[in-house]
Amino acid sequence: MQTDRRPLSDRLAAFPRLGLASLPTPLGPMKRLTAHLGGPRLWVKREDATGLGFGGNKLRKLDYVLQEAVSSGADTIVSGGVVQSNSQRQVAAAAAKLGLACHLAVYHGRLEPPTPEYKTSGNAFLNRLFGAHLHDVPWTGDRNAAIRALVDDLQAKGHKPYFVPYGVSNALGAVAYATTIAEIEPQAAQLGFAPTAIVHCTGSGGTQAGLVVGAAVAMPDTRIVGIDIDAEPARVRADVVAFAQEASNLLDILFDEASVEVVAGHAGLAYGVPHEATIEAIRLAGQLEALPLDPVYSGKGLAGLIALIRQGRWRSDEDVIFLHTGGAPALFAYQSALGI
């Protein structure tokens, strides 16, 4: 039982947002992909359509997280990620819009550059366009250490930096992402269906944590299915559980760890390396639905969904939502590796 009966929207109303993201994002059918795969009925939640800086799921989190930065008087936003990080690009865009300096720890060594254009185009180009200060650092496996070190350095120089974690994944980011469920519930009802599952790519954990927490209140009969894209399913699940528990405490919701499902086996050889199934998913989404997916996140997420459908996980008369987290700019950095 819940600790109280307040609807999700009322719980979320206690947390202010800046209005950076264009919300709600659309929810619509993917009829041609459904027909190609033979069911279930597929829908797409367009988190790539949040607007600012080419959009994406991180912008929904930043709407709430950066409210805290602005209210605290920060003059600099600090975050980090790999060269083609979608998160970094959205942080840089948000900082530019807010008139704040942006410093990014750019990790090198997590993956070998897959193409000659990897280091300069796509998200890397947009980071420069949005005016971010880029700091090359080695990848050690600790997602946030270099970001925190950069915060300390800027603070010592007299700045007022605000730390944004890798992937904007923390308790407040997960609370922010629960707003996606608050949108999907009425949108699906208006379209006349009740989703059996919401399937998405999962990596740093905050997005899935928010979906799980929101669904616990507003869509308890809908399964949240995360497709691991890091080739680290145990680590991913542990992070989702931790963020979901913290977000549940903030929203006064009872959290059941059994609601966290992270599906392994669809990340390919490693993070950031597209494999045959990823490229097939990107081709199908583009050719059947005019839906651009990226080869690091959303492409692998759809590849996992396709595999589950082919394994017979859902009946043809069930409805499944694919959550498109964005990332299209990375397509240009991977172009010569995709064979398209």
Active site residues per annotation: 85
For residue 186, whether the previous peptide bond is cis, meaning omega lies within 30 degrees of 0, is no
Q: Is residue 334 classed as helix, strand or coil in its secondary structure? A: coil
CA distance 331 to 146: 27
DSSP state of 14: T
> Is the separation of the CB atoms in 62 and 97 below 8 Å?
no
* Alpha-carbon distances, residue 35 vs 29, 293, 316, 332 (angstroms): 11, 19, 10, 29
Going by C-alpha positions, the residue among 43, 45, 40, 30 that lies closest to residue 318 is 40
- What residues form DSSP beta bridges with 224? 198
Q: Is residue 310 classed as helix, strand or coil in its secondary structure? A: helix
* Alpha-carbon distances, residue 291 vs 136, 287, 294, 301, 314 (angstroms): 32, 8, 10, 13, 23
Q: What are the backbone angles phi and psi of residue 119, rounded to the nearest 5°?
A: -80, -15
